Structure 1
Amino acid sequence: MRIVLRRLFSAINPSVNRNAVRFASNDAKKEPKKEEEIKIKNIIVEKFGAITTLNIDRQVTRNSLDIPTLQEMAAAINEFDKDKDAKVLVFYGEGGTFCSGFDMDEMGEKGYSTMTDAAARLLRRPLCDKVTIAAVSGYAVAEGFELALSCDLRVIEDTAVMGFLGRRFGVPLSLYGGRKLTSLVGLSRALDLVITGRLITGVEANQFGLAAKLTSTGTALGEAIKLAKSLSKFPQNALMMDKLAAVNSQLNPNSEESMRDEAVMTSLLGNAIEDIKDGVQKFQKGIGKHGKFYKLSELPLKDWEMEDVSEEIIIKEGVSTTSTTTTTTDKDEKKT
């Protein structure tokens, strides 16, 4: 994917100075014109002139977010914020998947609160003062969906799959996803996705109004880069002022009711953490993996659920009578 990205930029602007960085060392600062790539474990940050890309690269776990990844992302976003030459940040995932959310194994080991503490930088509303774009391909689920919602714009492939899959395991929305989704698509549609946890395709996400651009499979990153390039040409001060005014009007309502609601949600977290522990165990046993919502728990059937009842209408000489037959599967008896 990175090779394709570099070819794309070369085609768009052969003279652009590319810097592939994962945090510049002192040596890199002394030679700013030299292309540098300092590798860390889970993400790759590359600079293409005014455009910065952040690539989540944990393909073994479908680009899930463990604590080191969240810390690396926070540092990279802060570096982008401080970079005077950087104007647009594009998020994407390596290997055809955007992000599958928190690493459930790590959550089971270190706890939900530890994960959310590591993700604190992603709670900021908006995520950055500068423009952010999510190039969504493959799965963007759980906190991965919330990360996409945190960005200002989303370029979504038609075959992308999005949804709050944490619903299966009792994991609440961790990055203000409910508030962000509601502000984008309205309460009714947001409640549908939040309560049911159902998955939607990129096509449906576009119908909901989540996509700045709907594109075909394999083209989200290229289209996001094109969009970023066009936005980087605008005077940035007015753009950021207008963006912040729009975002703050929806996501940062400074009212007693809003603060009270967040306090109530925090008070519910204690019970939710117990559900999360059970959910992690289910996940590790294979229950509910791969987006499955059925057989999330094994419940014994009640007697009435084990009975098959059928009605038979018999007509004799113009008079109809009804015969009811009940079959009890566990006792193999019939009653008429």
Structure 2
Amino acid sequence: MSDAVLVTHDDGLAIITINRPEKRNAINGAVSEGVCAAVDELDARDDLRVGILTGAGGTFCSGMDLAAFVRGETTRVPGRGLLGIARTPPTKPLIAAVEGYALAGGFEAMLACDLVVAGAGASFGLPEAKRGLAAAAGGLLRLPRMIPQRIAMEMALTGDMVPAERMLAYGLVNELVETGGALAAATALARRIIANAPLSVAASKRVIVESQDWSTEEMWARQEEITRPVLRSADAKEGSAAFTEKRAANWSGK
């Protein structure tokens, strides 16, 4: 992995940092490949439970590196899109810790995450229309499912930046903290998730993500397919025993 992406692991948590502050963490090929490799490692390792995606130098990500695009450089992972998460987000929870700009592909990367913590000074937007481009890395598809359609339409058609406070009001941001505090708050949120049973967390995320396309007729049966193994697991018994015995649970992931 190149220096364009830095990864640290700490007690179940993977912190993935886009490290091109001199370019406002614009996405080139090395960034896409690096983040993709990091989220693949997150999913592959049993000792890693939650990931945080953030950016160095006070900026989350300003989007695709337009100079690299003009040069003809591939800025996407083949078959998986921008950062390797646009089309194939990780199965484990991924939290975006946003400071500064989350624009274009950077905003779309945030949309591919499950939870968002933002610093008060953060700005969000899809400026592709201002550059003769289109937000085809998930912005046009995911955003209208997450906030009111007319607001998504406004953002896509004007390309204007939107402050963090407005994104919080629309529910796109989970928590708004003081500028500079996003990573610490995201880490605290991750620790709350890591404290829970791995099978329960995995099944809960899967049902919430996949059920968007389920019909009313099939949704209960499909949910049962995913949650039945959780309810029959050793961790289900352990969690109940820990509650009745007033102690911390010792999760086995089985």
Code of the residue aligned with 2:180 in structure 1: it is G
What's the TM-score once normalised by structure 2's chain length? 0.79
3-state secondary structure, aligned to 1:95 = coil
Q: Which portions of structure 1, spanning 4 or more consecutive aligned residues, are displaced by more than 3 angstroms?
A: 116-119
Aligned partner of 1:115 in structure 2 is 75
Pick which of 179-188 and 200-209 moved more.
179-188
CA contact under 8 A between 1:116 and 1:174: conserved in structure 2?
no
Residue 253 of structure 1: CA displacement? 6.8
Aligned partner of 2:12 in structure 1 is 50
- Which structure has the larger Rg? 1
Residue 124 of structure 1: CA displacement? 2.8
How many residues are aligned here?
212
Residue 157 of structure 1: CA displacement? 1.3
| Alpha-carbon separation, structure 2, partners of 1:63 and 1:77 | 18
- Correspondence 1:80 to 2:21: no
Residue 174 of structure 1: CA displacement? 2.8
Aligned partner of 2:116 in structure 1 is 154
Percent of pairs identical after alignment? 29
Aligned partner of 2:196 in structure 1 is 234
Residue 116 of structure 1: CA displacement? 3.6
Aligned partner of 2:171 in structure 1 is 209
Residue 208 of structure 1: CA displacement? 1.1
CA contact under 8 A between 1:64 and 1:101: conserved in structure 2?
yes
Task: Give structure 1 stretches of 5+ with no counterpart.
Answer: 1-21, 23-39, 255-336
| Alpha-carbon separation, structure 2, partners of 1:253 and 1:58 | 40
| Alpha-carbon separation, structure 2, partners of 1:90 and 1:116 | 20
Residue 122 of structure 1: CA displacement? 1.8
Code of the residue aligned with 1:100 in structure 2: it is S
Candidates 72, 83, 92, aligned match of 1:130: 92
Q: 1:117 to 1:48 in 2, by over 3 A?
A: closer
3-state secondary structure, aligned to 1:123 = coil
Aligned partner of 2:139 in structure 1 is 177
Code of the residue aligned with 1:154 in structure 2: it is V
- Correspondence 1:144 to 2:106: yes
Using CA pairs below 8 Å that are at least 6 residues apart, which structure has the higher relative contact order? 2
CA contact under 8 A between 2:29 and 2:76: conserved in structure 1?
no
CA contact under 8 A between 2:86 and 2:108: conserved in structure 1?
no
3-state secondary structure, aligned to 2:53 = strand
| Alpha-carbon separation, structure 1, partners of 2:158 and 2:76 | 23
Encode CA deviations 1:172-211: one digit per residue, 9 max, x unaligned: 1132122211111131221111111111111111011111
Code of the residue aligned with 1:68 in structure 2: it is A
| Alpha-carbon separation, structure 1, partners of 2:204 and 2:7 | 27
Code of the residue aligned with 1:201 in structure 2: it is P
Residue 248 of structure 1: CA displacement? 1.7
Q: 1:60 to 1:253 in 2, by over 3 A?
A: farther
Residue 115 of structure 1: CA displacement? 2.8
3-state secondary structure, aligned to 1:194 = helix
Over the aligned positions, Cα root-mean-square deviation in angstroms equals: 1.6
- The aligned runs of 1:70-109 (5 Å cut-off) are 70-109=32-71
Q: 1:232 to 1:156 in 2, by over 3 A?
A: same
CA contact under 8 A between 2:32 and 2:77: conserved in structure 1?
no
CA contact under 8 A between 2:58 and 2:100: conserved in structure 1?
yes
| Alpha-carbon separation, structure 1, partners of 2:115 and 2:182 | 12
3-state secondary structure, aligned to 1:122 = coil
Code of the residue aligned with 2:34 in structure 1: it is E
3-state secondary structure, aligned to 1:86 = coil
CA contact under 8 A between 1:122 and 1:175: conserved in structure 2?
no
3-state secondary structure, aligned to 2:85 = helix
